[in-house]
Amino acid sequence: MVVQYIFVSTVDVYGYPLSQLPMPEDGKRNIPNCPYAANKAKCEEIFQHPGTEVLPLTIVRPAYSMGNRFLLTALSRDGGYTLIPRLRAGKPVFSPGDGTALIHAGNAYNTGRMIAQIAGDTRCIGEDFTLANDTVTSYDDYIKITADHLNAKPQFVHIPTDFVYESNLPGTEDILLNDLTRYNVYFDISKFRRFFPDFK
């Protein structure tokens, strides 16, 4: 017997640009921007309507959760493989626009702790939660935080997002520029806080 089924979805199911800021769980969704998000949204729908079965479901939607195996940049989901060597070598780092677009970057370890808090709590059955850091940061500040951990100082090259897309460079259709830095992206985690006010 399944006591609780936790499905790990993604904030990308809300679609970009977000319909409101900060984006709550019950906000109006826009069309997902990528197949990954569209498939997660389909999974949510299947799990929420399992036919005659009753599924003790909790849906969690982590925001961007960075860790030692995962780091985002405006160019890639595998950003650490290029960003970290560039920062260490003191090479220029691309930053879209003026670098002030807001992103909700967090820590994968803390996201895992939030899921662990939900696990086994029967109040959470039938609920959905956005999981994210308490604070929001600009894209440039996010890169600076990463650089600080490497004892490096980023050398930013700011290029307008529209100019990048108008240049029709190969591969631009697959990058995260449109999702991460064209719009401000941050989420409302007050629902999680109401359920777990003592979580640190």
Task: Tell me if the bond preceding 22 is cis, omega within 30° of 0.
Answer: yes
Which residues sit opposite 64 in a β-bridge?
105
Residue-wise DSSP of 25-82: TTSPPPPPSSHHHHHHHHHHHHHH--TT----EEEEEE-EEEBTTBB--SS-TBTHHH
CA distance 178 to 21: 17
Q: Which residues of 164-184 are buried (b: 16+ CB within 10 A; e: fewer)?
A: beeeeeeeeeebbbbbbbbeb
Q: So what's the pLDDT on residue 66?
A: 83
Domain residue ranges of the chain, discontinuous segments joined by +:
5-195
- pTM (global) more than 0.95: no
pLDDT digits (tens, 9 = 90+) for 16-67: 899 999 999 999 999 988 888 999 999 999 999 877 678 899 999 999 888 8
Q: So what's the pLDDT on residue 38?
A: 95
pLDDT string in tens for the chain (200-residue length): 889 999 999 999 999 899 999 999 999 999 988 888 999 999 999 999 877 678 899 999 999 888 877 788 887 766 677 888 999 999 999 999 999 999 888 889 999 999 999 999 999 999 999 999 999 999 999 999 999 999 999 999 999 888 887 887 777 766 666 666 778 999 999 999 999 999 99
CA distance 12 to 33: 8
Q: Identify the H or E element spanning 155.
A: strand 155-159
- DSSP label at residue 168: T
CA distance 8 to 60: 5
Superfamily of domain 5-195: NAD(P)-binding Rossmann-like Domain (3.40.50.720)
Alpha helices in the chain (DSSP H): 35-48, 80-89, 108-118, 139-149, 161-166, 177-180, 190-195
- Displacement of CA 70 from its chain's centroid (Å): 11
